[in-house]
Structure formats: C-alpha cells, structure tokens
Structure 1
Amino acid sequence: MVKPKVYVTRQLFDEAIEILEEQAEVEVYEGVDDAIPRELLLEKVADVEGLLPLLTERIDAEVMVSIILIS
C-alpha cells in the first residue's frame, strides 16, 4: 500500500513526526524560526495529499485548490 504524502510547514517534536510517518510519507519544512515562503508552500502542496500547517501559515483558497487539483 502506498502511503499518502504529507507536508508539514514547521518543525514538530520528533515523536509527532514519527507518528505521522507510520501512516504517511512526511516532508518537513527545514526553516528554523521563519514562516515558509509562499512560493515554496505552493510548490510543495502541489505534490501532496495532506498538509499539516501551523496557525501562522496563511492557508487560503489558492493553497487548498492546489492540493485538491493534484490529489
């Protein structure tokens, strides 16, 4: 069974990532204290089935449509 791809917009505790990795192929934004650049976010969501953002990320219709159209 192929695992869905999930993009995480910020570093989380290792335990949280491990739990996600049990069910999905996970990629995490490597930026330390800065928000993910908008262009990079749009690029990354074009190739995933799931997104785990934090409240600091602007997730609007453009981002959601990018995920839906590809999935």
Structure 2
Amino acid sequence: MSRPLARVARELGVNHETLRTWVRAADRADRAAATGGDAGERELRALRKRVAELEKEKEILRKAAAYFAQEMDR
C-alpha cells in the first residue's frame, strides 16, 4: 500500500521536502547500483584493477632482477 509523501513526512515528524529529497537520493542510488555504479565508481574499480596489474608486474621484475644479479655473481 502506497501512502502520500506528505502523510509519511508528518508521521515521521520531518518536512515533506526533506523526505522528498531523501526519496529521490535513494532512487538515484538504486539506479546507480543497478547499472554498476556511477562513473566515479567505475573509474575507481578500473584504477584499482590497474594498480593490481602494475603491482604484479613490479614483483615479476623484482624477482627477475634478483635472479640476474645472482647469475652475474657466478
């Protein structure tokens, strides 16, 4: 059962415009979650993925450098 926003606001003891703002913000958040997040969240995920890749590459290069340093000492 759906109740009018003004009635719910009265029952909660808040201004109806405040409640309307909260409802709209919740709707936007739901839509963003359904589409995989907003552009900032997508960019953050992409950047975190890239950082993980670079860390793996760095570790491989560190191990290779250590291996070749040992070979040079022989």
Structure 2 length normalisation: TM-score? 0.20
Structure 1 length normalisation: TM-score? 0.21
**Structure 1 or 2: more helix by fraction:** 2
Q: Give the structure, 1 or 2, with the largest relative contact order (CA under 8 Å, sep 6 or more).
A: 1
**Structure 1 or 2: more strand by fraction:** 1
